[in-house]
Amino acid sequence: MVKGIEKYGIPVVHMCTVVPISMTVGANRIVPTIAIPHPLGNPNLDEKEEYNLRKRLVDKALDALVTEVDGQTVFE
């Protein structure tokens, strides 16, 4: 999916929990996430904390999109 879209020259940031799979499929900008069934959330947190957690992850993804990379890069 990532490669099929990035081929058009659109930068894609892949947000996923299993980073080795993302590396194997060839994503260039990778943001590690929380867990497989809830990558951008954590049901153990209260609503506000969970929203802030998601915000931090989206911030990382947006940072990745404005950062030039010359190969596969994980934005921890």
- CA 11 – CA 27 distance, rounded (Å): 10
Q: Does 48 bind another protein (CB under 8 A)?
A: no
Q: Does 37 bind another protein (CB under 8 A)?
A: yes
Contact 23, 72 (CB under 8 A): yes
Q: Does 25 bind another protein (CB under 8 A)?
A: yes
Q: Positive or negative, the Cα torsion across 66, 14, 34, 45?
A: positive
Q: Does 75 bind another protein (CB under 8 A)?
A: no
Nearer to another protein, 9 or 76 (CB): 9
Chain position carrying tokens 């992850």: 57
Q: Does 36 bind another protein (CB under 8 A)?
A: yes
Chain position carrying tokens 């099929």: 4
**Binding residues vs another protein (CB under 8 A):** 1-18, 20-22, 24-29, 33, 35-41, 43, 50-51, 54-55, 57-58, 61-62, 65-71, 73
